[in-house]
Copies of this chain bind each other. A is one copy, B any other.
Amino acid sequence: MDIAKMDEFAKKKGFFWPSSEMYGGLAGFYDYGSNGTLLKRKFENAWRRYFLGLNENFFEIEPSDIMHEKVFKASGHVDGFVDPVARCSKCGTQHRADHILEDFLHESFEGMTPEQLKKVIDEKGVKCPSCKGELKEVYVLNMMFPVDVGSGKRGYLRPETAQGPYVNFLRHFNLLRNRLPIGLSVIGKAYRNEISPRNLTTRMREFTQAELQIFFDPSQVEEHPGWGGVKNYKLRLFPDKEKKIVEVKCEDALRMGIPKFYVWHMAKVQQFYFDVMKVPKDRFRFRELSAEERAFYNKVHWDIELDLPSLGGFREVGGVHYRTDHDLTGHQRLANQKQEVFFNERRFMPHILELSFGVDRNVYAMIELNYEEEGDRAVLHLPASVAPFQVAVFPLVNKDGLDKEARKVFETLRRDFDAVFDQSGSIGKMYYREDERGTFYCVTVDYDVKKRKDVTVRDRDSKRQVRVKLKDLPKILRKLIDGEIRFEKAGKAIKPAKPKKK
């Protein structure tokens, strides 16, 4: 899969395409079509179920997208949320300075100052990618979108969902009976006026984050009640010093200086990718950020990376950030309102562990990782947790009452499954269409539905087909989807059905 193929596939098959397309698009904004939206919702729901399920004190909240200027004063975004820009002295285009260097020299320049970047540009003789003009100026631009509210109050579209939980922490500490840890999650939009949005939906100006902010007692950072369950579990780490992937038991990760509370959550993140998203092991790693790369307030910072050849290899799809008390302290100072809590018979400022995921990047990754070409068409081998549909139902032909019978089957199945009905085209074409969006099973209703009371069930991955009695269909499909039986055991194996001649 390369990026041009992804672009074409996503457009043609209803996943995503540029926003406001008929007006030439708006760089950095994408719309999800009907299949993309289903996949995205599925990812969000799987994420919600898994991460909020880690602790019964973890909840989702929904803060507003636009917040008071002071929220972002306190967080440091008004002053510090800037990107380095190199401006072409010939065509005037502003480029993200570290990105043009990255493209040119194939290494990371994240976290460098404008002065450092300017030096590399001069040394290597890097020119404007648009017109080959000279890049004389390198400076910073704030990436937030300001919004003027009412008669002149300044707000900002949030550049990350995280601040919502921070300013809402104390209300929830009271509501949730003054206990720690508390987890407050937001699944929602964030907005950044990127200089150079690119790579389709993986670097946009409007994007969806799924973040979980965990507020905990810092004196317990070397504890976790669930530790026994993970201590022998092996993490796939790419430490900054070693610059290669090593498999490290959680227990041994502690000796690398990563706190136990942090390691436990790394294990859960990795299990999410392996067990729920079914990502192949060698396509996943945690990458440690160097001191220069990570924000100064992140005491420990490992990115979650997936191997995405269309983007050039391992790329960030999330991160685990130990933000300490940086955020709550900032708000306490600017709002002049104590954020400390009384818990475990002490008064203190909670620390924050952030699990942060780019939803669009993960959706993109799920397409790429599960995409397979078979001749002139594609199959998405999506796991059950994110496949837009579990089952599709078709009539073999649109006559002799088969369409009505098929619709009856569909109406029964949709009660218990994510089901879709189709009757527009040949069976072969309908199979292909479902394969392309990753539908697990196709049920075809043919003439035997009346005589023998059975239907054909076809498996997406093996393309094999079996006959299943109508009365057993929901039960059998449930077992197949839950992985309790193998497809060969689901019914009587048959050759692909062909339309009967009348």
**Residues of A in contact with B (beta carbons under 8 Å apart):** 11, 13-14, 17, 19-38, 40-41, 53, 56, 59-68, 70-71, 93-94, 145, 147-151, 153, 155, 157, 164, 167-168, 171-172, 175-177, 179, 184, 189, 191, 193, 195, 197, 205-206, 331, 334-335, 337, 410, 414, 420-422, 424-425
The main secondary structure of chain A at its interface with chain B is mixed
Extra pairs beyond A23-B68, A23-B70 (14, CB < 8 Å): A14-B172, A17-B171, A20-B64, A23-B71, A24-B68, A26-B155, A31-B64, A32-B62, A36-B62, A38-B59, A66-B205, A145-B147, A150-B193, A157-B157
**A296 vs B147: C-alpha distance in the bound complex, in angstroms?**
30
Q: How far is the CB of A20 from chain B (nearest CB, A)?
A: 3
Q: Which of B27, B59, B147, B149 contacts A34 (CB 8 A)?
A: B59
Q: Cα distance A36–B168 when bound, in Å?
A: 13
Which residues of B lie under 8 Å from residue A65 when comparing CB positions?
A: 65, 189, 206
Q: Looking at the complex, which one of B31, B60, B331 makes contact with A38 (CB distance below 8 Å)?
A: B60
**Chain B neighbourhood of A35, CB < 8 A:** 175
Question: How far is A53 from B418 in the complex, measured between Cα atoms in Å?
Answer: 11
Q: How far is the CA of A94 from the CA of B152 in the complex (A)?
A: 11
> Does the CB pair B189–A23 fall under 8 Å?
no
A348 CB, nearest partner CB in chain B, Å: 19
Which residues of the other chain, B, contact A153 by a CB distance below 8 angstroms? Answer: 26-27
Contact, CB under 8 Å: B67 / A172: no
Q: Given the complex of chains A and B, what is the CA–CA distance between A24 and B149 in angstroms?
A: 14
Q: Does the CB pair B171–A414 fall under 8 Å?
A: no
Determine whether the beta carbon of B26 is less than 8 Å from that of A205. Answer: no
A60 to B40, CA, bound (A): 11
Q: Which residues of B contact A171 (CB under 8 A)?
A: 11, 14, 17, 21, 33
The answer to whether A335 touches B66 (Cβ under 8 A) is no
Please name the residue on chain B nearest to A197 by beta carbon: B150
Measured CB to CB, the nearest residue on chain B to A195 is B150
Q: Which 3 pairs, one residue from A and one from B, show the smallest C-beta to C-beta distance? A: A20-B68, A34-B59, A32-B62
Contact A172 B33 (CB under 8 A): yes
Asked if A172 and B34 sit within 8 Å, CB to CB, the answer is yes
Q: In the assembled complex, which residues on chain B have CB atoms less than 8 Å from the CB atom of A63? A: 19, 31-32
Given contacts A26-B155, A147-B147, A149-B28, contact A37 B66 (CB under 8 A): no
Is there contact, CB below 8 Å, between A149 and B193?
yes
Q: A20-B71, A26-B155 are in contact. Are A31 and B150 (CB under 8 A)?
A: no
A23 pairs with B335, CB closer than 8 A: yes
Q: List 20 A-B contacts (CB under 8 A).
A: A11-B171, A17-B171, A21-B167, A22-B167, A23-B68, A26-B149, A29-B64, A30-B64, A31-B62, A31-B64, A32-B62, A34-B59, A34-B176, A37-B61, A65-B206, A145-B147, A148-B193, A150-B193, A157-B157, A189-B189
B20 near A149 (CB under 8 angstroms)? no
**Most chain B CB atoms below 10 A, which of A27, A59, A421:** A59
Chain B positions within 8 Å of A59 at CB level = 34, 37-38
In angstroms, Cα B148 to Cα A193, docked, is: 9
Contact, CB under 8 Å: A66 / B168? no
Q: B331 touching A22 by the CB < 8 A rule?
A: yes
Q: Would you call B421 and A14 a contact (CB within 8 A)?
A: no
Complex CA gap A258/B39 in Å reads 38
Cα A331 to Cα B20 with chains together (Å):
11
With a cutoff of 8 Å between Cβ atoms, the chain B residues found around residue A29 in the complex are: 64, 66-67, 149, 155
Pair B425/A177 contact, Cβ less than 8 Å: yes
Given A37-B60, A71-B23, A335-B22, decide whether A149 and B205 contact each other with a Cβ distance below 8 A. yes
For A92, the closest partner residue in chain B by CB is B151
> What are the residues of chain B within 8 A of A13 when measuring CB–CB?
175
| Cβ of A342 to closest chain B Cβ, rounded Å | 15
B177 engages A66 (CB within 8 Å): no
Q: How far is the CB of A384 from chain B (nearest CB, A)?
A: 15
Indicate the member of A38, A62, A172 with the most B CB atoms within 10 Å: A62
A421 and B59 CA atoms in complex are apart in Å by: 12
Assess whether A150 is in contact with B68, with CB atoms less than 8 Å apart. no
Q: Which residues of B contact A67 (CB under 8 A)?
A: 19-20, 26, 29
**Choice from B32, B60, B61, B177 contacting A424 with Cβ under 8 Å:** B177
The smallest beta-carbon distance between A209 and chain B, in angstroms, is 14
With A29-B66, A64-B29 as contacts: A22 and B337 at CB distance below 8 Å: yes
| Cα-based distance from A335 to B150 in the complex (angstroms) | 32
